[in-house]
Amino acid sequence: MKIAVIGVGYVGLVSGVCLAEVGHEITCVDLDQAKIDKLNQNHVPIYERGLEDMVAANRAAGHLHFTTDLAAALKDAEAAFIAVGTPSRESDGHADLSYIYAAAKNIAEQATDPLVIINKSTVPVGTGDEVENIVKTTRPDLQFDIVSNPEFLREGAAIEDFMAPDRIVIGVETDHARKVMAEIYAPFAAQGYPILYVNRRTSELTKYAANSFLALKLAYINEVAELCEVVGADIKGVSKGIGLDPRIGEKFLNAGPGYGGSCFPKDTLALVRTAQDHERPLRLIEMIVSINEYRKRAMSRKIAQMCENEVKGKKIAILGLTFKPNTDDMREAPSIAIIQGLQDMGTTIHAYDPEGMENAKRYLNNITYCDSALACVDSADAAVIVTEWDEFRTLPFAEIKTRMRKPVLVDLRNLYDGQSLKAVGFDYQCVGRPQETVINSMPVSDD
Ligand code: UDX
């Protein structure tokens, strides 16, 4: 099927490439000429494993095109995905829908009918109705349908999440739209991936409810981790012990410095605002937002405690800046609040991240960026693991100890076995495990 994808950000690009991969004729459109020029030379503007090769292969096969010309992209297209950004509005935390509405108007102006317009961006419940009004008002003559089809892509695993989805949620209001959506996702249905047809508002809300539920798991496990530290319990064991109950599930129970990224912080806040507007406040989610905010900044106090609360003038080595590994994305990364907290206490920050340092410069000031983990820890008073990049799992700790001014290691991702680090001579602290437990307990097997 000939399909246009409007917006070549993270979601638009991954969706466009994957839909081309399963055999559709895809034209991706963006206003940013420089971005389109780069993509037309197979240069992908984001870091996502496997994406660049897929862009090159599908362009070479003639299934994938990039352009700034919306009219050309819509010519003979049966469907158009809207995949533009819905950032948090700074004033009040509501989702900023101006890009969605602008895209809807532009599509309406250029469309040839009939056209199914599919919203892939994360939008508050009811947005599809507003998009329908915009299109109807702009082009009263056009035959069109508005569909909601949220994405559930994790950065760093976006291609596998698209190609092998847990579920595909489709919010439709007409038989024609359902038929077109069934055709788009036929290659996935053929492989047995579940496709859930619901109404449009249900689909829109499902996306927010899913992300907020996952955020809830994280906020909960992080608070339990705090309790573990003072009562002598081990969060790894607790997570395993509760996660083996299939009603709870093992995933998303790793304690850490708080969640970040482009989705959870923005989506939890937007859901809170929507619920308040409908006078059905989701108090649980309001609480999660504040628990997570508190947690990120609290990590800088935890680091200070490991330095006996005398951090002024000390050099702290931060290993990992991005909100999670395998991405260069710094949006809402816990490292930002942690580093700012430490800087407010008068520390000097040296940092290393395998992919995120260029983007980090947009969010953080007065940092010395280093070429490697080893260079970063040179004469540091403490080293802190903030993001669990694979290369940090096998660091040469004996050498690190000799390089540091003081062998203090704060591991906010529970990467290491405390006993071995103690043996090397480190003063080691992780999250959700009291010092004695780390040193004396049996490691929790991941099998
Ligand atoms: C998330 C959702 O997973 C995805 O379905 C949705 O479409 C977009 O938002 P993403 O933001 O890429 O994806 O990141 P994810 O892997 O979900 O991690 C989010 C945050 O939670 C990260 O900061 C991560 O470090 C943290 N996290 C995750 C934990 O602290 N512990 C865990 O056990 C899992």
Tens digits of per-residue pLDDT, 19-71?
Answer: 999 999 999 999 999 999 999 999 999 888 899 999 999 999 999 999 999 99
**Is residue 382 assigned to a domain?**
yes
Same-domain status, 289 and 236: yes
> Could you tell me which of 206, 293, 260, 264 has the C-alpha nearest to residue 388?
260
**Is residue 445 assigned to a domain?**
no
- The ipTM, to two decimals, is 0.96
Same-domain status, 176 and 302: no
**Is residue 203 assigned to a domain?**
no
Same-domain status, 249 and 188: no
pTM of the model: 0.93
Choose the residue to mutate in 218, 250, 430, 446 for probing ligand 1, maximizing ligand atoms within 8 Å of C-beta. 218
Same-domain status, 174 and 219: no
Determine whether the shortest distance from the Cβ of 152 to ligand 1 is under 6 A: yes
Residue from 28, 263, 376, 430 carrying the catalytic annotation = 263
Determine whether the shortest distance from the Cβ of 256 to ligand 1 is under 6 A: yes
Same-domain status, 380 and 278: yes
Same-domain status, 129 and 227: no
**Is residue 204 assigned to a domain?**
no
How far is Cα 338 from Cα 298, in angstroms, rounded to an integer?
A: 8
Average pLDDT of 283-287? 97
Determine contact, residues 346/312, Cβ cutoff 8 Å.
yes
Same-domain status, 19 and 40: yes
Tens digits of per-residue pLDDT, 324-382?
Answer: 999 999 999 999 999 999 999 999 999 999 999 999 999 999 999 999 999 999 999 99
Q: Relative to the CA of 259, which ligand 1 atom is closest? A: 23
Determine whether the shortest distance from the Cβ of 432 to ligand 1 is under 6 A: no
Can you read off the two tokens belonging to residue 354? 């395998």
Cis peptide before 325 (omega within 30 of 0): no
How far is Cα 21 from Cα 436, in angstroms, rounded to an integer?
A: 52
263 is catalytic: yes
CA of 363 to the centre of ligand 1 (A): 20
CATH number, domain containing residue 332? 3.40.50.720
Same-domain status, 259 and 407: yes
Same-domain status, 235 and 293: yes
Same-domain status, 276 and 184: no
Determine whether the shortest distance from the Cβ of 155 to ligand 1 is under 6 A: yes
Interstrand relation of 115-119 and 367-369 (parallel, antiparallel or unpaired): unpaired
How far is Cα 71 from Cα 435, in angstroms, rounded to an integer?
A: 63
**Is residue 90 assigned to a domain?**
yes
Domain that holds residue 369: 211-440
Same-domain status, 232 and 168: no
Output the CA–CA distances (angstroms, integers) from residue 372 to 97, 286, 375, 395, 428, in the order listed.
40, 39, 5, 11, 21
Tens digits of per-residue pLDDT, 391-428?
Answer: 999 999 999 999 999 999 999 999 999 899 999 999 99
Determine contact, residues 371/352, Cβ cutoff 8 Å.
yes
Residues contacting 50, CB < 8 A, separation 6+: 159
Same-domain status, 54 and 155: yes
Helix (H, G, I), strand (E, B) or coil at 6: strand
The domain total for the chain is: 2
